[in-house]
Amino acid sequence: MKIMHVSAECYPIAKVGGLADVVGALPKYQNQLGATSNVVMPLYDNAFTRKHEFNSVYESQISLGNDEITYSVLKLAKSVLDFEVYFIDIKGLLFKDYVYSADDTDRFLAFQIATLDWILTLSDKPEFIHCHDHHTGLIPFMTQECYKYETLNKIPIITTIHNAQYQGWMTYDHLFKIPEFNIEKIGLLDWNGVINPLASAIKCAWRITTVSPSYMEELKSEANGLESLLSQESAKAIGILNGIDSGVWNPETDNYIVENYKISTVEKGKKSNKKWLCSEFNLDESKPLFAFIGRLVGEKGAELLPEVFSKVLETNDVSILLLGSGFKDTEAKLLALKAKYEGSYNTFIGYDEKLSHIIYAGADFLLMPSRVEPCGLNQMYSLRYGTVPVVRSIGGLKDTIIDIEDNGFGICHDSVTIDDIVTAIKKASNFYNNKLAFKKNRKRIMSIDHSWEVSANAYINLYKSIN
């Protein structure tokens, strides 16, 4: 079975969020199941590409409207991953020092066209093309409707929605950049009067998946405008829970963390990591340490955090550490709190992979007060590192975390309000003080298995079900 994943991100090559983690792990686990699964992605100007050498396997030109653009398909000179990655290199357009920015429309249009043009030339074509999010959302339409890709129209296209909030909207000024098709089919691109790549993918892909079963259900009533479309197409849609790469996210072997540990040494291991964090960020290690890691955006409930933290720190004996970036206003408010709560609160604005691993290892609790959470990986990483997730029960969080009061192992709250989040933190704090139960729970959560094996197989079965 030959599968080609098409994605804007892939760990460890280029990561903005959870999409990279999934695309960096799923092909590896599919290969372990006997498939030949690889990835095609843009070549960016980043630390990974500067550190590695590439060979060109194909060179040609695409038309993007009136422009003729030269592109190359590159491969790593020496394979460093457990799957093959093909890079679409377009100088001046894709090859930038960022993944996403204001010029995404042309960049990802060019990426999709170059990818399909190149696949057309392959003698050994993929049997399934697996697209991820709206950056690849026009591929199902183009293979189905564009004349030049007619020979690809028997290849099943699967689209996975990692986040339906972002849809890649573009105005009709861009229509002429899409390779020629029967204009009567224009409705397959349209949603509410604009070209909507995610909506188009939902209409045209052979199968739609979301990254958790609950998120699939929730999208039917809340999908940033796509509710009715998702309900209409629900017969070809399924939710498959993400896994985690247990090779990368393993406290026993993780090279990033201060001291490695396993279930039998969890108390000592976590203590060393917490000590390092508390000394680095001037926090009191005798108090329970609550952490937040993620994009500071509305979906994650991030703009409530400054007020939540103030309320909690006024009356509770806790330490809080935040790692993230996003809304400038939220960043400024979070930074401003530092002076007031010196010694029990700190925040690191930015992206730092190594620090995120140490936080999963050293924190006692991980906060995820998400408004929307298609799956969420942070809670699964934190379980593996013996850190108790404090989550809002939604999407994948609902599918993976059970509250301690329901014989579970995490702390859950129902709504995203300041009061609800503060109450959940207080409940977590009380749980921390019940030392025996807390320690027992750490061992319990570390043994929960969320590795990719099961989900990678679910995708293989999905491909097989297409005929």
Q: Is 17 in the site for ligand ADQ (CB under 6 A)?
A: yes
Closer Cβ to ligand ADQ, 149 or 281, answer by number: 281
Stretch of 74-82, 119-127, 323-331, 427-435 contacting ligand ADQ, by CB under 6 A: 323-331
**Closest-CA residue to 319 (of 300, 297, 338):** 338
What is the nearest approach in angstroms of ligand ADQ to the Cβ of residue 37?
A: 17
Size of the site for ligand ADQ (CB under 6 A): 26
Q: Which of 190, 307, 352, 420 binds ligand ADQ (CB under 6 A)?
A: 352
**Least distance CB 114 / ligand ADQ (angstroms):** 24
Q: Which of residues 390-429 bind ligand ADQ (CB under 6 A)?
A: 396
* Residue 156 vs 294, nearer CB to ligand ADQ: 294
Order of strands across the sheet that contains 207-210: 54-64, 67-76, 85-89, 36-42, 2-6, 128-132, 157-161, 207-210, 237-239
Q: Which helix (H) or strand (E) segment is 71 a member of?
A: strand 67-76
* Separation between Cα atoms, residue 27 and residue 459, nearest integer Å: 10
The two beta strands, 67-76 and 54-64, are antiparallel
Query: Between helices 328-340 and 305-315, what is the axis angle to 10°?
Result: 20
Q: How far is the CB of 457 from ligand ADQ (least distance, A)?
A: 17
416 near 301, Cβ under 8 Å?
Answer: yes
By CB under 6 A, what part of segment 268-307 binds ligand ADQ? 293-295
Nearer of residues 248 and 337 to ligand ADQ, judged by Cβ: 248
Distance CA 263, CA 38 (A): 34
Residue number with the shortest CB distance to ligand ADQ?
17
* Number of residues written out for the chain: 467
What DSSP state is assigned to residue 288?
Answer: P
Q: Are 280 and 319 in contact (CB under 8 A)?
A: no
Rounded to the nearest whole angstrom, what is the least distance from the CB of residue 253 to ligand ADQ in the complex? 17
d(CA 185, CA 82): 40
Q: Which is nearer to ligand ADQ, 69 or 397 (CB)?
A: 397
Q: Is position 107 an interface residue for ligand ADQ (rule: CB under 6 A)?
A: no
Q: Residues 52, 7, 82, CA angle at the centre, nearest 5°?
A: 50
In the list 238, 351, 420, 438, the residue contacting ligand ADQ (rule: CB under 6 A) is: 351
Q: Within 10 Å of residue 370's Cβ, how many Cβ atoms? A: 25
Is 99 an interacting residue with respect to ligand ADQ (CB under 6 A)?
no
DSSP 8-class letter at 166 = -
Q: Judged by CB under 6 A, does residue 378 bind ligand ADQ? A: yes
Q: Does residue 239 interact with ligand ADQ by CB under 6 A?
A: no
Identify residues 145-184 at the interface with ligand ADQ (CB under 6 A): 162-163
Map residue 211 onto helix, strand or coil: coil
**CB nearer ligand ADQ, residue 190 or residue 352:** 352
- Is position 26 an interface residue for ligand ADQ (rule: CB under 6 A)? no
**Residue 402 C-beta: closest distance to ligand ADQ, Å:** 18
- The tokens of 16 are what? 């903005």
Q: What are phi and psi of 82, to 5 degrees?
A: -90, 15
> According to the annotation, is 443 in a ligand binding site?
no
| Alpha-carbon dihedral 160, 350, 102, 4, rounded to 10 degrees | -30
Q: Is 374 in the site for ligand ADQ (CB under 6 A)?
A: yes
Positions touching ligand ADQ (CB under 6 A) are 17-19, 21-22, 162-163, 211, 242, 293-295, 323-325, 351-353, 356, 373-378, 396
Residues making up the annotated binding site for ADP-alpha-D-glucose are 15
Residues making up the annotated binding site are 15
